[in-house]
Amino acid sequence: MLWPQSSLSLSRMIRKMKLPGRENKTAVVVGTITDDVRVQEVPKLKVCALRVGSRARSRVLKAGKILTDDQLALDSPKGCGTVLLSGPRKATPHSHTKPYVRSKGRKFEHARGRRASRGYRN
């Protein structure tokens, strides 16, 4: 199974960890945490991620803590007290991701799900 390894901004992670019931939990990110200059203050967070950008790392470490995956395994072996977060999926609107098609003609995969005027577009 392939994990979606897209990047997650610092602001989105803060917003998701402020939801009720998520205080004192570890944010687990399968991907990269990137800095967001729009965030003025970073609250106390406990984070585990595959990669953390240098500026995001310094901002999180001022208030909280960053764990590696082996430290997380020692800290909570069964995953209790963790929240799994991920960035936006591929093939969402404005991503320009195209499916593999047998032909690029008029009749091939251009209707429902590809255009908003034909029912939906996700």
Would you state the structure tokens that stand for residue 8, as one six-digit string?
């997650």
Model confidence pLDDT, tens digit, residues 45-84: 999 999 999 999 999 999 999 999 999 999 999 999 999 9
User: Taking Cα atoms as reference points, which of 82, 52, 84, 85 lies closest to residue 66?
Assistant: 52
The contacts of residue 73 (CB under 8 Å, 6+ apart) are: none
Model confidence pLDDT, tens digit, residues 3-19: 557 889 999 999 999 99
Catalogue all structural domains in the chain, each as residue range(s) with its CATH number.
8-85 (3.100.10.10)
- Is the separation of the CB atoms in 109 and 99 below 8 Å? yes
Model confidence pLDDT, tens digit, residues 74-119: 999 999 999 999 888 776 777 777 788 999 898 898 888 888 899 8
- Is the separation of the CB atoms in 7 and 34 below 8 Å? yes
